[in-house]
Amino acid sequence: MAGNVELLSSVLAGAKAEGRAALVGYLPAGFPTVDGGIRAVTAMIEGGCDVVEVGLPHSDPVLDGPVIQTADDIALRGGVKIVDVIRTVREAHAATGAPVLCMTYWNPVDAYGVERFAADLAAAGGAGCILPDLPVEESEAWRKAAEQHGLATVFVVAPSSKDARLAKITAAGSGFVYAASLMGVTGTRESVGREAQDLVERTRATPAARRGLPVCVGLGVSNAEQAAEVAQFADGVIVGSAFVKQLLAHEGDLEAGLAGVRELAGDLAKGVRA
């Protein structure tokens, strides 16, 4: 069954045609619960996110800051499994029609089975996978399975990536490139800064990006002003920790948390359109 990489591409192209960046939201599956997480991901899209990333919680999330680590820990203590991640993708996509990706470290995919994971994610309507710790050199088996099932393979680039490395990563990737705007882990920042813009410009100069592969920036955006700042130079603005914070701030009151998530998505959506 073909996945939704075409949907992802058309949504990103649609935002560009409107003269704006796309808004991409992130939440880990199973947080605060599996059912609550599905509702939260759906609320993000209803609030104004164009695309969502559903995280596969990991016990050692090296790229993620303390906020997402806290959410992952809650999900893992709740017993979240890969089947719940796939279900979150399926139900959020079915409820909204929006492109939904899975963001995961490589070990769980490898253990589950590369072909099986790609097939299950595609069958759920998933648009693709973001694999922050999978080296391009070791990605052939995954990319083959992803392509067969119509899934995007999104790689992460960082300010430390040299130009030759950027060219290699963008040539292998599809859907979009995830540009990590600051060195280190995810989390909201006071300012997302010049480093992000430089990284986007260097990534855009690669042959694959010149042919139209979008560059989306994550790690640090938490409000409409920062979203507007990043939207001036990126094809997409990725927000994760700020959404998690809304749910953590209303722990024990899911409805209030969902309202906060929806409101933040609306605020950020205004930012990318500013």
The residues assigned a catalytic role are 53, 64
Shortest CA distance to 103 belongs to which of 27, 208, 23? 27
Sequence letter at residue 65: G
246 vs 235: CA distance, rounded Å: 25
| Angle value at C-alpha 198, between 195 and 202, nearest 5 degrees | 140
Instruction: Please count the other Cβ atoms lying within 10 Å of the Cβ belonging to residue 121.
Output: 30
73 vs 96: CA distance, rounded Å: 27
The DSSP secondary structure of 95-141, one letter per residue, reads HH---EEEE--HHHHHHH-HHHHHHHHHHTT--EEE-TT--GGG-HH
Sequence letter at residue 272: V
> 21: helix, coil or strand?
coil
Q: Which residue has the tokens 């060195």?
A: 183
